[in-house]
Amino acid sequence: MLCDHCGKAKLKAQTKPYHYTECGLLGVFLRNVQWSECPACHARAATLPRAGQLHRYIAWRVVTKSTMLTGEEIVFLRKMLRKNQKQLAELLGLSQVVLNRWETGARNGHASANDSRIRFVYLTMRKDEYTRRMNPKVWEMLHRMFGKVDRKAEPIRLRIDPADCAPAEPASAEIGRFMESRGFSPILRSEHINS
């Protein structure tokens, strides 16, 4: 097949892993992928099977890695959430200018607390075969506690009987009801009571 790009040479099939720069991350290489390169202009053509799943998997590996996210990785996660900079900035409660700085790696990047926040937003908003591998109880708890936090600051309003403040009882009943409403067995209730 003649090169689409320059038309000067035939594409040559390659056996090396495919450096998947198109995903925006510079360290991703795909093995066992059919791809070819033009010897003249070095344009490449690749066939990626299951591209959607591949992207979700890359995102999962990014969000669970043990070092700080890079700017490119923040961009990747944001795109997987199908948010533009303005929308993700709003979710994180910061200005678009600040998020842009993190994404482009200007200044010294983001602090580790914000690193966790980005991952948290991803994990609570993204529902796929990888994020679901988290223990469903943990996932539901996280989502319930923080997934829908209103950005508006408002003083908490509570009516409390000091006699009802023991940790096990009220929490387990409430969480147990929630879990049952989501189809989880009420095991958690007894776990809470025992703890």
Footprint of Zn ion (CB under 5 A): 3, 5-6, 38, 40-41, 43
Minimum distance, C-beta of residue 42 to Zn ion, in the bound complex (Å): 7
Residue 78: CB atoms within 10 Å: 21
| DSSP string across 53-119 | HHHHHHHHHHHT-SSPPPHHHHHHHHHHTT--HHHHHHHHTS-HHHHHHHHHT-TT---HHHHHHHH
Q: Least distance (Å) from Zn ion to the CB of residue 116?
A: 45
CB-nearer residue toward Zn ion: 5 or 56: 5
Residue 8 or 86 with smaller CB distance to Zn ion: 8
Query: Cα separation of 165 and 182, whole Å?
Result: 26
Nearest CB to Zn ion, comparing residues 12 and 127: 12
Q: Closest CB to Zn ion among 12 and 182?
A: 12
State the minimum distance, in angstroms, from the CB of residue 37 to Zn ion.
Answer: 9
Listed residue (150, 127, 124) closest to 138, CA to CA:
124
Smallest separation (angstroms) from Zn ion to the CB of 115: 41
